[in-house]
Amino acid sequence: MRRALPDLAWTLLLAVLVALAPAAMKALFHQASVSYLSLASNAMSLAVLALSWDLLARTGQLSLAHAAFYGAGAYSAAILAKLTGVPLFLALPIGGLVAALLALGLGSVTLRLRGIYFAIATLAFSEVLKAVVQEIPTGVAGGAAGLNVPPLFRPHFVPGAMQRWEIAFLRNADYFYVYGGLLVLAILVSTIAQRSRLKAAFTAVRTNEAVAAVMGVRPARAKLLAFVLSSALVGTLGALEAERLGSVIPDGTFAISTTVFALVTPIFGGLYTTLGPILGAGVLSAVEETLRRTFAEGYLIGYGIVLVASILFMPRGLVGLANRLARRRGPPPPGEDEAVRTASDPGAAESGEAP
Amino acid sequence: MELTLLAQGLVSGVLAAGLYALVSVGLALAIGVIGVINFAHGEFFMVGAFLAYQLFVSLGFDPLLSLVFVAPALFVIGALIYLSTIRYVLQAPELNQMLLTFGLSIILQNLALLIWGGDPRSISGVPYRSVGLQVAGVSIGLVPLGSFVISLVLVVGLYALLARSRLGRAMRAVAQNRVGASLVGLEVDRIYLVAFALSALLAGIGGVMIAVIQSPTPTVGFAFTLKAFAIVVLAGLGNIRGILWASLAVAVSESLVATLVPNGDSLRNAVFFAIIFVVLIVRARRTA
């Protein structure tokens, strides 16, 4: 754990920054800070999604079911709010729990599937879940039309004392803190997985399960653990997003685009690292915002181009690129080199064998 | 009454199986010969559909006439995509290959959205679109029947090509052993190129037919990629011969669910995915 200390210090610094950011933004940008805060929340949401996908990918499981866990969390929050008087805040951990239980179920039946087979099975699961949610009686889940979700935060009313944008600012700042908190949690999980014995276990399982078993790692356990942790994070995120966006609908909440974002971001940023997915989320959410303003439909094309270009020209992502540039300048700092080596064997063990 | 419904479901399923087989056999060809799982396969299908639509709208081409232009166009598009991207990941880990084709799929789909928008497009003016015949209360549309026949001819043609021709034998040799094939003087890279382009061509022809049967949107391709995966997985990866039976099984069960189960139409897609899911899990248990 001692090696984890510097990372934990960075995470703490990030937490402090998140706590201070809204006030600083308000002082600097006044009214514009309202939309900046919501953009920052989008970026942090993408970072959580990407970190959780990466966590799972570290065990060699390339999931195409992130939309399913996101949707499960979102729908849990929506149904809880509709049918029970559970405080809205509690919907976040419950959304995470529901997603984690689903992952435990899916993970146990897909344990033996590798590479492409795992990917296709998870994609199929995601689509079946979408169809099943549509078939739940309309009185419970709203059918194809979806459900409205009450907002996590009520507007702050101080009659006369505040301008309209200040009320919006407070609301966005509230969400910003919650997204920030979730991001810090995701970073902590990722860091601990990266700096403890789990890293060796995950890497061993990804590279060669048989060898991992000989080393004393239990592949099934490591894979399930990663699956459950990853889905719990995504489920919580889904519940939070449902409450921020105000509605859930099968076609949107279970949209394949969530899965696309979840996997493109860490690949672009740098697989099997904590920094990569965060870096990728920052850059991509800025790019997406620009594209979305230019094209109403089809802006996802940017993600496709980034994905293809990353695979062809930058298979180790932004982090790999930075490491390579750093190494060209001087000798690599210890530890850095290790990160590059593990990043260079994405799924080396999966050589197209039968499932 | 119930019996007629059952018969209708069976007939529609069998007719749809032809198109499914055509699209799946292309995917199986790419997987079997090149060893690359192509997530963008359905996008070739979608591009074929929209090219046919555009030829119809701009030049008034009958879809049957468009086939003559769309097929070679898709062959060229497939070849260009192979040369510009797929070729460079042949030795890369499976993850990279899969993600690359996934990216290609996103690009093609959204490119179509940018060009044609998200609304369904139909080729409505074709005279034979609504022609059909009634046999004992079961209606058989001329267009589904035609697409079934064309698909069957093409699939059987591909089987013959693989079994008899020099190119087909070369493809099978490369599929079995890449190094061995290159040692006996086969140009592996060129055979891959032809196989990939041929696979795009077959999907594109299927697309022209769907443009007449349905009113496709740019997302139709992804749905067909998944359907084709279901069929290919059911047949066994790389098993081109099993495709016909797998298509029949999948198309008929889809059609039966849609006609016999109340509110079954929305469950259509779930049937496919449930099949893929169960087949994968059961296979994994059996081989483990």
CB burial of residue B138 (10 Å; 0-12, 13-18, 19+): middle
In a domain, A214, yes or no: yes
The confidence band for A342, taking pLDDT boundaries of 50, 70 and 90, is very low
**Contact criterion met (CB < 8 Å) for B95 and A346:** yes
The domain locations on chain B are 15-219
More confident residue, A64 or B261: A64
Task: Report the complex ipTM.
Answer: 0.86
In a domain, A291, yes or no: no
Residues of A with Cβ-Cβ distance to B85 under 8 angstroms: 308, 312
Domain limits for position A230 = 2-255
Residues of A with Cβ-Cβ distance to B230 under 8 angstroms: 124
User: Can you tell me the distance from the alpha carbon of B255 to that of B14, in angstroms, rounded to the nearest whole number?
Assistant: 9
Provide the pLDDT for residue A2: 52
Provide the pLDDT for residue A355: 34
Provide the pLDDT for residue A144: 83
Average pLDDT over residues A273-297: 87
Q: How far is A37 from chain B (nearest CA, A)?
A: 29
Give per-residue pLDDT as tens, B89-143. 998 888 788 889 989 999 999 999 999 988 898 887 777 777 777 877 788 888 8
Provide the pLDDT for residue A4: 58
Residues of B with Cβ-Cβ distance to A354 under 8 angstroms: 237, 283, 287
Mean pLDDT check: name the lowest of A53-62, A182-191, A285-294: A285-294
Other CB atoms within 10 Å distance of the CB of residue B286: 8
In a domain, A176, yes or no: yes
Residues of B with Cβ-Cβ distance to A348 under 8 angstroms: 93
Give yes or no for a contact between B40 and B101, defined as CB atoms under 8 angstroms apart: yes
A124 closest CB neighbour out of B108, B109, B276: B276
Residue A139 near chain B (CB below 8 Å): no
Q: Which residue of B has its CA nearest to A57?
A: B95
Mean pLDDT check: name the lowest of A247-261, B25-39, B229-243: B229-243
In a domain, A222, yes or no: yes
Residue A123 near chain B (CB below 8 Å): yes
Mean pLDDT check: name the lowest of A47-51, A177-181, B162-166: B162-166
Output the DSSP codes for A51-118: HHHHHHHTTT---S-HHHHHHHHHHHHHHHHHH----GGGHHHHHHHHHHHHHHHHHHHHTT--HHHH
Give per-residue pLDDT as tens, B30-74. 988 998 889 999 999 999 999 999 999 999 888 889 999 999 999
In a domain, A269, yes or no: no
- Show the tokens assigned to A255: 């949209």
A301 closest CB neighbour out of B110, B226, B280: B110
Question: How many domains, in total, are found in chain A?
Answer: 1
- Could you give phi then psi for residue B185, rounded to 5 degrees? 100, 10
In a domain, A325, yes or no: no
Q: How far is B36 from chain A (nearest CA, A)?
A: 9
Mean pLDDT check: name the lowest of A41-55, B3-17, B266-280: B266-280
Whether the pLDDT of residue A344 is over 60: the answer is: no
CB burial of residue B77 (10 Å; 0-12, 13-18, 19+): buried
A116 closest CB neighbour out of B37, B88, B284: B37
Residues of A with Cβ-Cβ distance to B113 under 8 angstroms: 297-298, 301
Give yes or no for a contact between B93 and A315, defined as CB atoms under 8 angstroms apart: no
**Judging by DSSP bridges, how do beta strands B132-135 and B138-141 pair with one another?**
antiparallel
Provide the pLDDT for residue B89: 92
